[in-house]
Chains A and B, each alone.
Chain A
Amino acid sequence: MSVAIMKTSAGITIIRRRQALMLAGTMSLLLLPAADSQKPEELTVHVHVTCVGKYDLHKSDGSNRVDETDQITIEYDATSHDTAPPGTPPWQMSTGTTDYHFTVSGSGTGSDDDIRLSWTWKLVDAAKGSRELVTNLGPGEFEVALPDFQNDAKIEPQMQLEDAGKSKNWLEAEAKQAAAGLAIHPVANFAATSFDTPASYQDYDAVGQFHDQLKGTFDQNAKSFTKSGSASRSYSNPLGMTTSIKIAYSLSFNQQPEDAEAILIPRDGYEQWMPKAGHDEDTPGNGLLVNVVLQKKDKPGEKPRAKAKSFKFELIGVSKEPGVCLNGPSKSTTKADPDFDLKFDRAANPSLKVAADGQSATDDGGSQQSSVIVFSYDWGGWGSLQVTVELDNNQTVVAHLQNRPGVTELKIPKDDNGNHIADEWEKKIKDKAPEADDDKLEYQELAQGDGLSFYEEYRGFMVAGGAHIRTDPTVPDLFVYDQDGLNTGLLDSSGLAVHIVERNQVFLETDPDPNVNHLVINFNSHNQNLGKQHALWLRDANPGKGLAGKDFGGPGPPKTSQVVMVGMDAIKQAGYGDLYARVTVSHELAHAANVWHHGDNDYQVSRIWKLNPDASWASVPTPPECAHDRPGEGCYGVAAQGGQESGVQDCIMRYEQNNLYEWDAGPYRWMKGNGFQRGGFYGDAQPSGTVYCRAVQGAGVNARAHPPAPLAGDATNGNCEAQFCTNDLKRCWFKPTYAKQ
């Protein structure tokens, strides 16, 4: 059954059952839900009014004498009883009633000259219909309505003519009129109206006090209350009429206890929300709005009767990762004692009392819902939100997730598997442990990892250009501090995820060992940290001695590289173009990521012989600068089989700079070891290689079918792309057979 209660500003209450009415203007509307199994609210109002009017006149004007006494007592007793569905406040309930009873009594006598009358007062009729016992019933206040005798009760005297003197018949009718004029107007009307009608300035105060006695207050949040009181007033007018009224009233309201629950409702997009940070640990990143709504237990959307005294928001188990991401802010500005990564921000929650540490906040309540914004201060922050609601019925409830009564903590970000990584980020990469590190290049057979755990890749890095990136946990990452804006050449063609970082995005450790890499890239790591990872340091600097570039310390993983120098001015001066410069950068950076030359057994000779048509050998004149006195030195470089020039011709890691190559049927010979090696002149150098090779087998000039012979043949190492290893924590699986010098 549905009930609609309308209450107008005039205090008229109309009840319509099985209807919902639309009102406008000053009217308010409450649509109440269907009654349920719980006991309804009850409001009972009882009012008893007694009003007495008196008149006692004895007057003589010489020839004529009037004697009149009159008394009338009007009473009514009314009870209003209303019930409403649980949760309805008393001021939305009806105090109208048809259950009120009048009683009227009294009598009087009057004589004037030779006429004598007597009468008794009777109730002729009482009004039917609703009557409001309490007016101005609102939140916390009420006022008992004044009686309206003139409209509610029709009162008449029943007359007896005791002595009509000379003209009895005529006088009888006149006497009735006289009695009406004498008694009804002066006494009954006076009694019916004078309690609310001040007759003088002085009486205004008395009327006001009388009204005040009819007013009362109650605790609007109280589950039940009883209020009773009385008001009285008496008044006399100069004609000798007196009236007194006494009103006794009682109100009782009884609220049935109910079960309320609080629901945590994160804003739309919670599932996709991932934490962000500002530029430093004190600057908030992004926020997550969470609403808390009270509802009837197991009745989604139904408002309970109870309201919150307070909402207490608490962040639980919040991470305290150093900085805002693995390399930000700079080490010098990262707090030594990390702060919480999720906090309530005062500016964003102005209506809440936020604790100094930002881990709790309180809403003083008064309503049935509240909200809070949780701000992130770290790209990998995590924690949970819990809300405790103290209700005005003194119950305490802990909010839970919608449709998940047992779950009272909202994980921020959404993290069902509890690995501190937002589910949104890992939805494409399932079933990976937070400590996992199994990045792999497409053409690598074995995963090398990159020294960064799954969680660390998620938390991410700041890189040059002011961007934050969450790195790809399936692709090995390599960070390059490109001090002079050289760019990283063709290194990205390796398949590595290459990132350029700035000076303040690496930490230069003060390690006493000068032969290691000091540029730590994950200096703000904590959770799931596997160990230090290093960035490469790329500089525009001439390594000298005719070298275009040099990786000081490599080949090996990044931790072995002290610095990578590329002499851009020297390259330019040598007449090389941009491509050569880029290839040089690519070549040297690859060394710093564990990629080796194709071989390392090239050698020099200072003297060569040419085969004559008669099969004899003629010495080729040697330039004077090549007159060496040390064996193995010379102006001629020989590309040995499996040496630096071997393998795939267009590989970035292959050099092409020798004069001679080994060919057993070649027209030249030279000393190699204890015997002669035949060979030929190499010819013009080929353009620089631009790829990292994926094979050991020689290709191009080194192919087995290359006429007249492969120049340097298959690579000793080769398959350069598979050699890449950016993991400083593992022994990279590739290790050339020859020793580095």
Chain B
Amino acid sequence: MGILDTMKRRWLVAGIVAIAVLAGLYFWLPRHRGVPLQGESQRHTAKSDDETEDFEYVAAPHISMRINGTHEPTVIRGTPLLVSLRLANPGAMNAQLINHAHQKRWAALQEKLSRGQVQKEEVDALEPGLRHELPVKAVQLGADNGAWEEFVRFVRRLPDGKEERLPWKLERIGPPAEKKLLLDAETTVQLDFGLTPETAAAIEPGDYEVVGILEIPADANTPAEQWKGRCETEPLQLRILSQHPPSSAADKLRSELDFVNYFLATNQSGLAVQHAETALASSPDDIDAQIALGDSRRAQNDLKGALAAYRTAMKEFQGQSPAPYEPPSLLVEKISKLGKELEVNP
């Protein structure tokens, strides 16, 4: 027998073995994949029927947004924007609310039990439910090796549902957030972003649906303990009004107050005072404008000027609301604090 014959025989044997293996797999695999073979009974016992879990609180951040302190922002072109995002963990909040309610009810029941106002059996029956504490699951954002803030972005949502990057860049205001944030039932965090008047002046008038997004990718660099995923704000309709024709007095006043708030947030108190005075020039009776002036002067460390503005605001308040249901408690506090400061340091 020559070499060629031997090789042919080996291939032949290998082929037969391969066919046998394949045939075996053909019959073996369906059984092990749960696929019935032809002719096998299709019947099977229904499997576990109650596999769904209770809907437990999901630990996920909730993100909300305001522009210039409101959810319905309308600004005159050129007005700076102050965009505020807040992150919270409402799932943890709800779990804690339930736990608190149970604790309170349990304490009340114990009190009633001690007074003989309730039967022990009734209390015993309620105990498992009331004494069971729901897990208050916190959300960790970011880690020591990466700041979560980097994953915040803003998009413009188009009428067809598509998204595009905002045509202007919002600058972060204030100190950077902690790299690692643990959102629990008690903790919320606010991030502020600004758009300068100069940049705002370049925005074409119109309606912009703005969405803030926190999206942390689940890649290899993301620590396991960190939350990953995407959450977004409710879309805000930002309306940019044209400067022509001139806006209403109310729009102008609101625009000036937006300037004040922006300059206060960016530590430009001189400009804040200017715009507060401009607002008061056109609306001298406006309480918010007076308070804005007081806040601006206070930021300039003009305490007397600030107190005077606050007191004027109080006078206007009392005049305009002789019997208010809610008192101007913040205004009262500002006056009180300033008064004390001036007593110490006239």
B343 within 8 A of A: no
A540 within 8 A of B: yes
Across-interface contacts of A442 in B (CB, < 8 A) = 104-105, 108, 112
Assess whether B62 is in contact with A485, with CB atoms less than 8 Å apart: yes
Stretch at the interface among A86-94, A133-141, A347-355: A347-355
A412: shortest Cβ distance to chain B, in Å?
12
Q: Which residue of B lies closest to A487 (CB)?
A: B93
Assess whether A740 is in contact with B319, with CB atoms less than 8 Å apart: no
Q: Mark A580-601, 1 if CB is under 8 A from B, else 0.
A: 0000000000000000010010
A464: shortest Cβ distance to chain B, in Å?
4
Assess whether B287 is in contact with A546, with CB atoms less than 8 Å apart: yes
CA distance A463 to B101 in the complex (A): 16
Assess whether A467 is in contact with B329, with CB atoms less than 8 Å apart: no
Across-interface contacts of B331 in A (CB, < 8 A) = 545-546
Q: Which residue of B lies closest to A443 (CB)?
A: B108
A350: shortest Cβ distance to chain B, in Å?
7
B293 within 8 A of A: no
- A465-B334 contact, Cβ under 8 Å, with A545-B328, A741-B324: no
Stretch at the interface among B84-92, B151-159, B238-246, B274-282: B84-92
- A468-B54 contact, Cβ under 8 Å, with A483-B64, A495-B105, A600-B325: yes
Q: Which residue of B lies closest to A497 (CB)?
A: B101
- A276-B97 contact, Cβ under 8 Å, with A487-B185, A573-B295, A630-B319: no
Assess whether A625 is in contact with B295, with CB atoms less than 8 Å apart: no
Across-interface contacts of B318 in A (CB, < 8 A) = 604, 628, 633-634
Task: Name B86's contact: one of A278, A464, A484, A544 (CB within 8 Å).
Answer: A484
Assess whether A276 is in contact with B185, with CB atoms less than 8 Å apart: no
B95 within 8 A of A: yes
Across-interface contacts of B326 in A (CB, < 8 A) = 543, 547, 549-550
Assess whether A635 is in contact with B295, with CB atoms less than 8 Å apart: no
A673 within 8 A of B: no
Most buried by B among A468, A487, A602: A487
- A485-B64 contact, Cβ under 8 Å, with A495-B101, A574-B333: yes
Assess whether A348 is in contact with B55, with CB atoms less than 8 Å apart: no
CA distance A157 to B192 in the complex (A): 123
Q: Which residue of A lies closest to B192 (CB)?
A: A569
Stretch at the interface among A3-11, A24-32, A63-71, A499-507: A499-507
B43 within 8 A of A: yes
Q: Mark A534-556, 1 if CB is under 8 A from B, else 0.
A: 00000111111111111000000
B110: shortest Cβ distance to chain A, in Å?
11
A288 within 8 A of B: yes
A623 within 8 A of B: yes
CA distance A569 to B82 in the complex (A): 12
Assess whether A466 is in contact with B327, with CB atoms less than 8 Å apart: no
B317 within 8 A of A: yes
- A500-B42 contact, Cβ under 8 Å, with A492-B104, A544-B287, A597-B325: no
A373 within 8 A of B: yes
A120 within 8 A of B: no
A166 within 8 A of B: no
Across-interface contacts of A568 in B (CB, < 8 A) = 190
CA distance A569 to B50 in the complex (A): 48
CA distance A648 to B133 in the complex (A): 32
Assess whether A465 is in contact with B43, with CB atoms less than 8 Å apart: no
Q: Mark B255-278, 1 if CB is under 8 A from A, else 0.
A: 000000000100000000000000
Assess whether B332 is in contact with A546, with CB atoms less than 8 Å apart: yes
Assess whether B64 is in contact with A541, with CB atoms less than 8 Å apart: no
> For window 175-197 of chain B, which residues contact chain A by CB distance below 8 Å?
185-186, 188, 190
CA distance A436 to B93 in the complex (A): 29
> For window 24-62 of chain B, which residues contact chain A by CB distance below 8 Å?
42-46, 49-52, 54-60, 62
B314 within 8 A of A: yes
Q: Mark A635-675, 1 if CB is under 8 A from B, else 0.
A: 10100000010000000000101000000000000000000
B308 within 8 A of A: yes
A488 within 8 A of B: yes
- A635-B314 contact, Cβ under 8 Å, with A351-B43, A428-B125, A574-B334: yes
Stretch at the interface among B6-14, B65-73, B207-215: B65-73
Query: Could you tell me how many residues of chain A have their Cβ less than 8 Å away from some Cβ of chain B?
Result: 88
A676 within 8 A of B: no
A129 within 8 A of B: no
Assess whether A570 is in contact with B330, with CB atoms less than 8 Å apart: yes
- A633-B315 contact, Cβ under 8 Å, with A495-B101, A498-B101: yes
Assess whether B288 is in contact with A545, with CB atoms less than 8 Å apart: yes
> For window 398-434 of chain A, which residues contact chain B by CB distance below 8 Å?
428
Task: Name A351's contact: one of B44, B313, B324, B330 (CB within 8 Å).
Answer: B44
Across-interface contacts of A154 in B (CB, < 8 A) = none
CA distance A542 to B254 in the complex (A): 13
B141 within 8 A of A: no
- A286-B49 contact, Cβ under 8 Å, with A569-B69, A741-B324: yes
Task: Name B311's contact: one of A549, A635, A655 (CB within 8 Å).
Answer: A635
Assess whether A465 is in contact with B315, with CB atoms less than 8 Å apart: no
Q: Which residue of B lies closest to A632 (CB)?
A: B322
B312 within 8 A of A: yes
Q: Mark A59-87, 1 if CB is under 8 A from B, else 0.
A: 00000000000000000000000000000
Across-interface contacts of A597 in B (CB, < 8 A) = 325
B100 within 8 A of A: yes
Assess whether B101 is in contact with A286, with CB atoms less than 8 Å apart: no
Task: Name A542's contact: one of B64, B69, B323, B332 (CB within 8 Å).
Answer: B69
Most buried by A among B70, B328, B337: B328
CA distance A567 to B91 in the complex (A): 23
Assess whether A545 is in contact with B94, with CB atoms less than 8 Å apart: no
Task: Name B94's contact: one of A467, A575, A655 (CB within 8 Å).
Answer: A467
B121: shortest Cβ distance to chain A, in Å?
11
Q: Which residue of B lies closest to A348 (CB)?
A: B46
Task: Name A574's contact: one of B100, B234, B330 (CB within 8 Å).
Answer: B330
Assess whether A484 is in contact with B66, with CB atoms less than 8 Å apart: yes
Across-interface contacts of B52 in A (CB, < 8 A) = 276, 278, 284-286
B26: shortest Cβ distance to chain A, in Å?
23
A482 within 8 A of B: yes
CA distance A485 to B84 in the complex (A): 12
Task: Name B92's contact: one of A465, A548, A600, A630 (CB within 8 Å).
Answer: A465
B126 within 8 A of A: yes
Assess whether B94 is in contact with A373, with CB atoms less than 8 Å apart: no
Assess whether B337 is in contact with A350, with CB atoms less than 8 Å apart: no
B189: shortest Cβ distance to chain A, in Å?
9
B75 within 8 A of A: no
Across-interface contacts of A498 in B (CB, < 8 A) = 97, 101
A300: shortest Cβ distance to chain B, in Å?
21
CA distance A171 to B14 in the complex (A): 74
Assess whether B322 is in contact with A548, with CB atoms less than 8 Å apart: no
CA distance A637 to B334 in the complex (A): 15
Assess whether A466 is in contact with B323, with CB atoms less than 8 Å apart: no
Q: Which residue of B lies closest to A555 (CB)?
A: B325
Assess whether B87 is in contact with A485, with CB atoms less than 8 Å apart: yes
A204 within 8 A of B: no
Across-interface contacts of A540 in B (CB, < 8 A) = 64, 66, 86
A264 within 8 A of B: no
B24: shortest Cβ distance to chain A, in Å?
25
Across-interface contacts of B112 in A (CB, < 8 A) = 442
Across-interface contacts of B54 in A (CB, < 8 A) = 276, 468
Cross-chain pairs A/B with CB under 8 angstroms, 25 sampled: A269-B50, A276-B54, A276-B55, A349-B46, A464-B62, A465-B58, A465-B91, A468-B55, A482-B93, A487-B186, A495-B101, A497-B101, A498-B97, A502-B90, A503-B234, A544-B287, A546-B313, A546-B331, A547-B328, A628-B318, A630-B319, A633-B315, A633-B319, A635-B311, A741-B324
Which residues of A approach B to under 8 Å, CB–CB?
Answer: 267, 269, 273, 276, 278, 284-289, 348-351, 371-373, 428, 442, 462-469, 472, 475, 482-488, 492-493, 495-500, 502-503, 539-550, 567-571, 573-576, 597, 600, 602, 604, 623, 625-626, 628, 630, 632-635, 637, 644, 655, 657, 685, 740-741
* 3 residue pairs, one from A and one from B, having the closest CB atoms: A465-B91, A485-B88, A546-B331
